[in-house]
């Protein structure tokens, strides 16, 4: 442990990371640099600075990463229409490679020997942080206190905080917080509490971003999303930065009860976990992006993307954002988006997202061919006979063998 002279801690200012900060100082006898990432969690971050100063920290980083998060992580992921296990929009997963990247950058800037995080030994985040760090700085040392210390219960954490004079803030003594939450510009996740029984319905007052569909407005909300090279760039003709656009979609979706999800997922470490999620903007982006792709993508390109997507989603979920295979897939996905340009008209109503219009100068849809009316010879229906017989040939041969 004495070999560690300086460590960069991913620091929220909450109870766990405040205890970790003191624990690092005591156990490793090292200098601690704190890093607090603003990825759009909607919390005041300056108290983290004050707490770090009170703990004697000299190098304090509080970085606004919202635009980088949306532009370089969320938007590339949505170009692939990414969902994990058919439902999860990967809100927590996609923030971790950015935080890992910044931890390594700060370690390089400050000459730190190691990084530290507050992820537990049961979850996915430990894998995501550490795979990212090792990919970007192979010789970096990683300290994961939850895998080392004996503070294995909330009571022990509270006792440690009291012994060392660490402010408890929102966690009142003897009262267990009902949920473990993670928030960023893409989503909020909820775990623990009543959710640990998969039979229990989430409590209505748990949700932070969205009204219930039952209480959503009785009139639908319509708007138009403009796409350029596979990314949304404007709402109702008003161009926005990626972070601003995602925030506005969150507002629109949340007001209409869009984006709630309750699932049991398979963690990379092997256990099943029940979680509830709010992802209003991401839910809208997924539906609208598929709509504009339906006009602009060649059939076989679209189908190949759909085949590759589950693999791409697993790479992100399991922490392999910085892997060569994810980067290879991203290159393919981005190449497919060159002609994904145009406009999608969206209708939000009581929890639903419906695409009610789409148009593009790069559209492959030809009304002259697809029409049910007279196509003036644009398509020769007699050609279908030979097409069908050739495709049926192997089945006809097999059928004769069975007869």
Active-site positions read 16, 96, 125, 180
**Separation between Cα atoms, residue 344 and residue 16, nearest integer Å:** 44
Element (H, E) at 197: none
Which residues, listed in sequence order, are joined to residue 234 by a DSSP beta bridge? Answer: 226, 239
Query: Which has the closest alpha carbon to 115: 293, 123, 105?
Result: 105
Tell how strand 342-349 and strand 272-278 pair up: unpaired
**Separation between Cα atoms, residue 385 and residue 262, nearest integer Å:** 48
Please tell me the total number of residues recorded for the chain in this structure: 403
Query: In which residue are the tokens 């049910």 written?
Result: 372
Tell how strand 6-10 and strand 114-116 pair up: parallel
Element (H, E) at 102: helix 96-110
Vertex 309 angle, CA 250 and 282, to 5°: 0
**Separation between Cα atoms, residue 77 and residue 305, nearest integer Å:** 12
CA–chain centroid gap for 373, Å, is: 45
Kindly state the tokens that stand for 193.
């509490």
**Separation between Cα atoms, residue 146 and residue 213, nearest integer Å:** 39
Query: Which has the closest alpha carbon to 54: 24, 30, 27, 22?
Result: 22
Instruction: Report phi then psi at 183, rounded to 5.
Output: -130, 145
**Separation between Cα atoms, residue 284 and residue 115, nearest integer Å:** 36
Instruction: Report phi then psi at 11, rounded to 5.
Output: -125, 120
Q: First and final CA of the chain: distance in angstroms?
A: 76
Query: In which residue are the tokens 């109870």 written?
Result: 15
């Amino acid at each position: 442990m004495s070999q560690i002279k300086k460590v960069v801690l991913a620091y929220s200012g909450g109870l766990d990371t405040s205890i970790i900060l003191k624990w690092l100082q005591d156990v490793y006898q090292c200098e601690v640099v704190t890093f607090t990432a603003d990825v759009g969690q909607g919390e005041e971050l300056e108290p983290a600075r004050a707490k770090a100063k009170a703990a004697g920290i000299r190098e304090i980083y509080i970085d606004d990463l919202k635009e980088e998060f949306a532009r370089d992580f969320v938007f590339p992921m949505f170009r692939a229409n990414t969902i994990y296990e058919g439902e999860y929009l990967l809100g927590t997963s996609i923030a971790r490679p950015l935080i890992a990247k910044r931890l390594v950058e700060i370690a390089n800037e400050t000459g730190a020997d190691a990084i530290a995080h507050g992820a537990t030994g049961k979850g996915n985040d430990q894998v995501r942080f550490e795979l990212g760090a090792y990919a970007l700085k192979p010789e970096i040392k990683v300290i994961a206190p939850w895998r080392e210390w004996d503070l294995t219960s909330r009571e022990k954490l509270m006792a440690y905080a009291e012994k060392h004079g660490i402010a408890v803030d929102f966690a009142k003594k003897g009262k267990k917080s009902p949920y473990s939450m993670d928030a960023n510009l893409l989503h909020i996740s909820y775990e623990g509490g009543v959710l640990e029984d998969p039979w229990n319905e989430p409590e209505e007052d748990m949700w932070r971003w969205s009204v219930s569909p039952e209480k959503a407005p009785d009139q639908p909300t319509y708007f138009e999303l403009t796409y350029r090279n596979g990314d949304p760039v404007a709402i109702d003709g008003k161009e926005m930065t990626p972070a601003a656009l995602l925030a506005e979609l969150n507002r629109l979706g949340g007001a209409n009860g869009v984006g709630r999800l309750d699932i049991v997922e398979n963690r990379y470490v092997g256990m099943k976990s029940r979680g509830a999620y709010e992802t209003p903007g991401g839910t809208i982006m997924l539906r609208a992006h598929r709509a504009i792709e339906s006009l602009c993508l060649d059939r076989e390109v679209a189908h190949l993307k759909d085949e590759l997507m589950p693999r791409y989603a697993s790479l992100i979920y399991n922490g392999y954002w910085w892997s060569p295979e994810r980067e290879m897939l991203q290159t393919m996905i981005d190449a497919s988006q060159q002609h994904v340009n145009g406009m999608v008209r969206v209708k939000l109503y009581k929890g639903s997202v419906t695409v009610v219009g789409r148009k593009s100068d790069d559209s492959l849809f030809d009304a002259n061919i697809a029409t049910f009316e007279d196509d003036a010879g644009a398509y020769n229906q007699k050609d279908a006979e030979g097409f069908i017989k050739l495709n049926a040939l192997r089945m006809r041969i097999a059928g004769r063998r069975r007869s």
